[in-house]
Structure formats: structure tokens, C-alpha cells
Amino acid sequence: MTSTEQRPEGQELPFNVFAKACPSRDTLEHVTGRWGALTLGALYEGSLRFNELRRRVDGVSEKMLSQTLHALERDGLVLREAQPTNPPRVDYELTPLGREVAERLLSLIRYVEGSMDAVLQARDRYDATRGAR
């Protein structure tokens, strides 16, 4: 589908994530990458400070979390709010757009978690037929 083709609802599609130069591709990568999806999901529960968020998203490095938050903030999905306190306090929370994206991601996350028995069985069958492990 090109950017000038019509959606079934009759709405024009101004962006096409399948086009190499489309800026929506970057946002999709920020949202669906491991750290982006987990960060959005964690922030759905409410505002968190950096270290709280880092503990919630187990395994993310400080550098990766910082880069992820910058990308999500730039995309308008996360709000960074610095409090004028001593020591400085910075809170992160979802914007309204970020909440919408996180809701969709959490539906997918819950589906994947609920399907893990079938996934693990499929992996076992796959590995057994290929002599893996």
C-alpha cells in the first residue's frame, strides 16, 4: 500500500511503514524493540523515576534505558518531568499517545505470556526434529 492508496474505511494513509524512508518505521522500531516495549509497558502502571524504571525493566542497562527514554520522548510517547528539588528528581510518564500505544502493546504481551505453553511445546518439537540443544 502506498501513501496515496486508501484504507478500507476510506481514510488516506499518509505514512507507510513498509517504505524505507518513512519516519513511521523509526517509531515502530522504538515502540516494538525489546526495551521500548518493556519501558512503555512499565510506565503504563504510572509515573516512575529513572532507577525505579530500571529496576522494573529487569536487564536493561543504564545507557540503553536512557537512549530508549530519549527516543520515546522525542516520539511524543513519554514525558520527562524534572522536579526543582535538591537532589534533582526526574519522573517519566506516558503521554496520552504513549498510553494508547502501551495499551496495544500490553494486549500483545499478555497474549504472548498466555501462549507460552504452546510456544515452548513448538520449540521442543522444532528442536527435536533438528537435533538442536
pLDDT score, position 4: 40
Closest CA to 75 of 105, 95, 60: 95
Residues of the chain with pLDDT under 70: 1-12, 132-133
Q: What is the β-pairing status of strands 89-94 and 78-83?
A: antiparallel
| Per-domain boundaries in the chain | 24-130
pLDDT score, position 45: 93
Locate 84 and state its grid cell: 526543582
Orientation of helix 62-74 relative to helix 24-32, angle to 10° = 140
Rounded to the nearest 10°, the torsion over CA 59, 68, 26, 100 is: 90
Give pairs for 63-66: CB < 8 Å, separation 24+. 64/35, 65/35, 65/39
Task: Look at the pTM and tell me if it is higher than 0.85.
Answer: no
Q: What is the CATH number of domain 24-130?
A: 1.10.10.10
Helix (H), strand (E) at residue 69: helix 62-74
91-123 residue pLDDT tens: 999 999 999 999 999 999 999 999 999 999 999
pLDDT score, position 84: 87
